[in-house]
Amino acid sequence: MRIDTPCVVSLSWKLSDGQNRPIDELGEAVEFFYGGNDLLAKVEEALAGHEAGDELHIHLEPEHAFGDYDAALVCFEDRKLFPEVLETGMAFEGLPAGHATPGMPADAIYVVTEIYPSHVVLDGNHPLAGMSLRLALTVRDVRAASADEIESRSVGDAPPVLRPPASLH
């Protein structure tokens, strides 16, 4: 079966930055809904018409992946708003109740980048924002999408590494 909207594709990959430094590798195939919300648009474009066994090499500039890094998505919040046990790298969906930074996206995932006695630095950018990416994909399988998958436009558990940020849906 060839990849065409709507269907479900099983993919494995190697993801590297623009200088070919490894970022992520998935040897076990994972399913994605093709023609919906599970894949970046440029990845879908490259997959069109391919079938199981095909290998693709895709170069993605930031605007076709996770966008440019936006310094406006970095904020400082009072340390008292966070749990006592807090570490850099921890992620929170949205800002804490009582936050002081106006205009920040409510649905963003904020990662703690620095912790000070008085405040915490949060970054709402996708971890791969601003990066050129190289993606080596292998199509492991292609199957017809179920009615539920077509309705939701997703297989539901696709990992976020190939999924566009919510702001691009």
CATH number at residue 23: 3.10.50.40
Instruction: Say which residue the tokens 């060839």 belong to.
Output: 2
Q: Is residue 145 located within the same domain as residue 62?
A: yes
Q: Is residue 114 located within the same domain as residue 150?
A: no
Instruction: Dump pLDDT digits (tens) for 28-59.
Output: 999 999 998 899 999 999 999 999 999 999 99
Q: Is residue 110 located within the same domain as residue 133?
A: no
- Please list the alpha-helical segments (H only) found in 9-135: 41-47
76 φ/ψ sector (left φ>0, alpha ψ -120 to 50, else beta): beta
- Does position 16 have pLDDT exceeding 50, yes or no? yes
Count of domains in the chain? 2
Task: Answer whether residue 62 is part of any domain.
Answer: yes
- Does position 168 have pLDDT exceeding 50, yes or no? no
pLDDT for 49 equals 97
Contact between residue 161 and residue 24 where contact means Cβ atoms under 8 Å apart: yes
Contacts of 80 (CB under 8 A, 6+ apart): none
Indicate the pLDDT class of residue 131, thresholds 50, 70 and 90: very high
Q: Is residue 80 located within the same domain as residue 50?
A: no
Percent of the chain predicted with pLDDT > 70 = 92
Distance separating alpha carbons of residues 21 and 15, to the nearest angstrom: 9
Q: Is residue 132 located within the same domain as residue 61?
A: yes
Distance separating alpha carbons of residues 82 and 120, to the nearest angstrom: 8
Indicate the pLDDT class of residue 167, thresholds 50, 70 and 90: very low
User: Would you mind telling me the total number of residues written for the chain in this entry?
Assistant: 169
No. of helices (H) and no. of strands (E), the chain:
2, 8
Q: Is residue 144 located within the same domain as residue 98?
A: no
Residue range of the domain that includes 25: 7-66+128-157
Q: Is residue 98 located within the same domain as residue 142?
A: no
Task: Answer whether residue 169 is part of any domain.
Answer: no
Beta strands in 35-107 (DSSP E): 55-60, 74-78, 91-93
Cα angle, residue 157 at apex, residues 45 and 59 outer, rounded to 5° = 30
CATH number of the domain to which 88 belongs = 2.40.10
Task: Answer whether residue 2 is part of any domain.
Answer: no
Instruction: Dump pLDDT digits (tens) for 61-101.
Output: 999 999 999 999 999 999 999 999 999 999 999 999 999 99
